[in-house]
Amino acid sequence: MITKENVRHIIKENRDLLIDIKEKISLIQTTGNPLAHIKPLEYMKDYLNKNANVILYPSRAKGYGGLVCYRNNRFYIHINTAQPKVYENFMWAHEFYHYYFEREKIKDHSDRTFIDNSFLDEKERRPNLFASEILINHMVLEEKFKGIKQEYPNEYLGKQILHLIPSLEVPYKAIVIKLAQDELITEDQAEEVIDFNYKENLPFDFDQSYLKPSGVIKIDKLDQLIENAREFMNEDNINSFLESYKKNLELVTSFRRDVSEGL
């Protein structure tokens, strides 16, 4: 978890890694796909959906955002859709980094992509920084922040930063770190506002939908996977799997309803 005790360290680490990460983003933006420039999140979603088996599924596990794994000659990417939408967006970019730049390590089982408190894990700094850099355009951030300070000149800095979420659609703490990293606020200010309890202090004009989960359930290419399984599973095993899947789906559907109600 990012707190005032470690935020300066994270900002320093980000600056040390920034040249390498920006080179990787430039590599992606030279693919010729206009989405990579204009709507990078949509580009990454499209890319992963085309090249891997994407599973969108809500999970009750706290602190878990998603993972990339390799099983039976296939890459699987899970995104936890029970987390707030801004975190889900961030996780798409995070897991894209793992898949795009580290898939050979993952394929060889020499790397893992799910670690608790990933913001503090050295191996996860690069995908986290990549997600922040590709999703938060510096010029957009600078212009929007300037406008917000003019519109809400007397508001607490933490609340001013909150107003950036609808434009950037990424987590609050990611924005705080990016602002400090790009010297739009000082490190002292970042330390002051990083632990701000923003959920209890939302402005009246803040759209709360950005902090709610999507609850999406989608298993990419499920029919194809079942057909392929018929090569090494008998009909009874497949039917048993489908029955278990149906029961689990009913449980998750109930959980999804709870999530949509903010539980």
pLDDT value of residue 259: 55
pTM of structure: 0.86
Is residue 172 within 8 Å of 7, Cβ to Cβ?
no
Q: Show pLDDT as tens, one digit a residue, over the chain (263 residues).
A: 899 999 999 999 999 999 999 999 999 999 889 999 899 999 999 999 999 999 998 888 878 899 999 988 889 999 999 999 999 999 999 999 999 999 998 988 755 555 444 445 667 899 999 999 999 999 999 999 999 999 999 999 999 999 999 999 999 999 999 999 999 999 999 999 999 999 999 989 999 999 999 988 888 667 776 666 676 677 777 777 777 767 777 766 666 666 555 54
CA distance 111 to 108: 8
CA distance 89 to 113: 17
Give the 3-state secondary structure of residue 84.
strand
pLDDT value of residue 187: 98
What are the C-alpha distances in Å from 62 to residues 1, 66, 146, 179? 12, 11, 35, 27
Q: Residues in the chain, how many?
A: 263
- Give 9's Cβ-side CA count (13 Å radius): 11
Q: Given strand 66-71, what is the order of strands in its sheet?
A: 66-71, 74-80, 53-57, 218-219
- Which stretches does DSSP call E strand in the chain? 53-57, 66-71, 74-80, 218-219
In the chain, where the domains are located: 7-136+212-260, 139-210
Burial 228-241 (b: 16+ CB within 10 A, else e): eeeeeeeeeeeeee
pLDDT value of residue 256: 63
CA distance 139 to 167: 13
